[in-house]
Structures are given as structure tokens and as C-alpha cells.
Structure 1
């Protein structure tokens, strides 16, 4: 018998992509509400308590409200794609490659990683754990994303303002991803985060520049690359590229197809004194919808890659 799944917020960019993946998945049956029912709190409560799994694709406050609608004895297992529970007690962080697939498989409450933190943590967390990078370094993160990551309002803005070539933001320096980046990487300080958006619907580059020569305790770039390759050697979604033929450029295209993969690079100067750690991913794939489906597969005992674009 198929597992029932209710996507609360299925009409948003993340929700629509999850629906698209699950419609090709034999193990799940979607619980659907009409437009009127979606606005009726009693209908939402009934769907949340009926389903085997619920995926929350909602603003933070609405996600907290959805969790509060669950009965005490409800057996519904939750995946929250919002920011609301990523650092909350009792929630498992939904990054199987970092926390372990078995941890996700046994979880009742899973918080999806953010799209930017997915790239940052994939690069930095394993290296800090292996003590190849210091936890007390003041890291910086330069990142650029497609506009779908900003939801319907930003999608609409790019449609209405076609002359936008580059949108830098986050100048208050209190971005909601900072706590997640710091805690999940085990850092002593929050990184300095410089995000931007370009006129592409999907796609993302996340870069962490490293002044290796100035660090008190950092391994040479080759060692960093080797550790990442070792760490992800069994992953079917994450690829660590070697340095034999480094690309001259990394490109985001306006018409990129959906992808649930994550590509990592370690670039370095000839003397190994500076390095650039770079992650490329689909902000709606491994950065959102694909991550939710990956966790759902594990929680339901399915093939981890079923329904994903690999």
C-alpha cells in the first residue's frame, strides 16, 4: 500500500517541484486539497493528521502553526522545508550525507536544510570535523542563486523588472541562514554571508574563499580535496571533482533543467597558499525539493534516489 503524503503549501515553488517528483513515485499517494480547502484550517488539520507524511512548504510562522495542528497521538511524520525548525530541539537536520541516512530514516521530525547552507556545509562541515580547517576562522561565503529561491514574490519581480542583471542583498548581515551555517558546521563564529540573485530561474553557486597561508591550522588544498572525495565517495548525489583539468569557468544557465545533484570543487593557486571551495547545485533540487524527497524516501524505507533527478 502506498504511503499518503500531504504537502502543505503545494502551490509554491518548492511544493510544486515536490509534487512533480512524487507524481513519478509509485510508493506515495498525494493527499490533495482544493483551493478553498487549503484556506480552511479544519481541512488542513484533517489532512495533516490523516497523512502518513506531511511536507511543509510554508513561511516560518505558518509551518509552526501546521505543527501545532497535529494531534498529540498523530502518527504523521513531518518534513519542514521552512527555516522554522532547522535549529530546534527534537528536529533532525535533513542532510543525510552529513547526519547519516539511518538517522533520517528513523526520524519523526525532519527540518530541510536551506539552499545556501547546503552548499556551504557540504564544503566546510566535513573539513572542520576532520580538523583540516579551523573551527574558529572568520569564514566568508559568496553565493549567487536563481530567483526561484525567493518564492513567488521574487519570481514576479524578475518578471516585472526584466532589466535586473544582479541583485545583491543581505546588507543587514543578519541573514536567517547564518545560525544554521554556524551550528551545523561547528564554527566558533558566524560566517560573513554575501548572497545575490541573478536572472536565472534555478541554479546556485556557493563559494568559500580560504587564505590558507594566514590560517593557524589548515591543511593544504590537495588534502582538503582528498578528504571531501573520501567523505562523499559513496554518495550518488554529491561529486567532488579532481584538479586534473579544472574548468576555466563555472556557469549558471537561464534554462537549466531540474537537478538533485551537488558538485564540489577545491581550486587553489600553484603554491597552495589560497583556495576557493565551490559548490554548484539547483536551489530547488538538492537545495529544497530534492532534499525533501530524499529524506522522505529514507523515512519511508524506499530507495533513497527514487523520484530524484540524478
Structure 2
């Protein structure tokens, strides 16, 4: 029986992880009472007792939690604090062929961001296969349910006068950018245009690809074939071959899911392509990925506790 401590279980991601893990009798879930939840010594003791600690904290608090622990403590960090840190394993199991082994052996594991999960699933394999230019200035257009913004944004969007759409990251600086660049092997930071819609959960990530971004071997058909080959047999990821859809929808009451759906749409002449990923920002984009990584780290079935 593995002992698991969720440091920061009061937030949206932490609550989802806790709900999932509490239903598994083979796990010993360490839970601090309200009086101890923010007490450094109580948290330190819980981290030392746990086989794996899942950090659902702001970035600085996540760094502090790691610093207070002994050198053999194992962590999954759901914040963005360590996603480009050389000592941390990047926890996107399907990203490369050797990633699952690295995750299983990791002591320090960083959970991917929700937007980067969609972007990397689309772009990283195509760059690695030599179909997209690594030095192309990629653009990323994405919308997410408001749950991704934490408690303050949830409260804002659940008011009677809540906005229908919120565009942000207008300074062209965002904490996901370095993660996207590094994990996709790009020369430059992408131009990232994120937005929030008035649904609780769900996410669409889109990467427009003009002909100039393609290598000599690149084409919409080659993109579809490469993605299908890369993710063949993956239980959570589907590469859709139907290019006739006229819309993709995120429902206001989107159901929880740990799936990741990928699409390649192209113009008739094949010179313009839209790569699109659909996922649940709280599922494969956060809590679902953390549970998947935890399963790999403790030797449990990879999809146990996941929503297929």
C-alpha cells in the first residue's frame, strides 16, 4: 500500500486528485486537519511519511515544499515551478517512447501544464518527425473553462454579470511559454493567445500551420499519419481521421474526462492546416495527468482511476 500526501488539497486540482485517490483502497491517503494544513512542521512530517507527495500549490510554495523535504522524498508537482528544471522529469507519458520508464524511475516529477499538453501533443511529434520546422514562429490559440484559473476566477465567472469570454496574456509573457518551447524542441517561444470561456471545464488548443512552417516532407496527410503512428495504442489519446467536421464544441456543462483528442484540418490545396487538440483542463490537463503519473511511479496500472 502506497502512502500519498496531497499538499494543497483545498484547490481545484487538489480536490479532484483527492476525490479520485480516496476511492482506491490500495492507497493510504494522508490528510491533514484544517489546523495543520498550513503548518510547516505538520506538512514536513506528512511529506516524509508519504511515498509520493503531490504538490497542488502556487509556484513559490511548491519550491518551498521541496526545499523542506529530505533528499529522498518523491514529488509530483502540479505547479509550473519545475517544468523546465533540468533535475525534474517532465510527466507527459505519451510524449516520447522512453517517457514512461523515466516517470516510473523519477523522484522529482513535474506535471505538464494544461495548454502545453494540447500544444505538445500536436507539435512535438511533428517536429521530431521532421515535418514541422523547429525554427518556425508558431502561434497557439486556445480557450479553457474557467476552472483553470483557480478559486478567484471561478468566483468571478459564477457571478450573474460574469463575462462570456476573457482574453489574457496580452503582455505576450506567460508561464507556459518556456515549457512549450523546451519540450517541443523549438528555437523560439511561440506566440500564445489564451482565453477563458464561460464553461467550467474543457479546453481547445489550436496551432495554425501555413505552408511555410512545413518541411519538404510536411503535409496535412503526413501530419495525420505521423500523429496516428506516434500515439498508436494509447488508451487516452485519439487521432481523428474525419476531416469533415464543421465545428468542435465545448459544452458549458462539459463532463470530466482524461482523454485527449487530436484533429488535423486542411485547406483543399493542402497549404493551410489547423492542428487542434481537445481535452479537459482539469483531467488530462491537470488532475488526470497527476493520477496517471502517480500510477506509473508506484507501479499501479497506468489507467487506474482515470476517466476513459
TM class by shorter chain equals: over 0.9
1:214 and 1:98 map into 2 onto residues whose CA distance is 21
Q: What are the within-5 Å matches in structure 2 for residues 39-54 of structure 1?
A: 39-54=38-53
SS in structure 2 opposite 1:61?
Answer: helix
SS in structure 2 opposite 1:255?
Answer: coil
TM-score by length of 1: 0.96
Post-superposition shift, 1:163? 3.5
Which residue in the other structure is 2:14 paired with? 15
Query: Is the 8 Å Cα contact of residues 141 and 209 (structure 1) preserved in structure 2?
Result: yes
Q: 1:229 to 1:215 in 2, by over 3 A?
A: closer
Which residue in the other structure is 2:120 paired with? 121
SS in structure 2 opposite 1:38?
Answer: coil
Deviation per CA, 1:90-130: give whole Å up to 9, x if none: 10000010142111111111000000000000000000000
Post-superposition shift, 1:21? 1.2
Which residue in the other structure is 1:84 paired with? 81
Deviation per CA, 1:55-83: give whole Å up to 9, x if none: 000000000010011023xx431000000
Query: Is the 8 Å Cα contact of residues 259 and 282 (structure 1) preserved in structure 2?
Result: yes
Post-superposition shift, 1:215? 4.4
User: What are structure 1's unaligned runs of at least 5 residues?
Assistant: none
Q: What are the within-5 Å matches in structure 2 for residues 1-310 of structure 1?
A: 2-72=1-71, 75-99=72-96, 100-160=99-159, 162-212=161-211, 215=214, 217=216, 219-243=218-242, 246-310=244-308
SS in structure 2 opposite 1:116?
Answer: helix
SS in structure 1 opposite 2:94?
Answer: helix
Q: 1:214 to 1:78 in 2, by over 3 A?
A: closer
Q: How many residues align?
A: 306
SS in structure 1 opposite 2:48?
Answer: helix
Post-superposition shift, 1:214? 6.3
1:217 and 1:61 map into 2 onto residues whose CA distance is 44
2:160 and 2:83 map into 1 onto residues whose CA distance is 33
Post-superposition shift, 1:32? 0.2
SS in structure 2 opposite 1:122?
Answer: helix
Query: Is the 8 Å Cα contact of residues 141 and 206 (structure 1) preserved in structure 2?
Result: yes
Post-superposition shift, 1:26? 3.0
1:26 and 1:277 map into 2 onto residues whose CA distance is 40
RMSD: 1.2
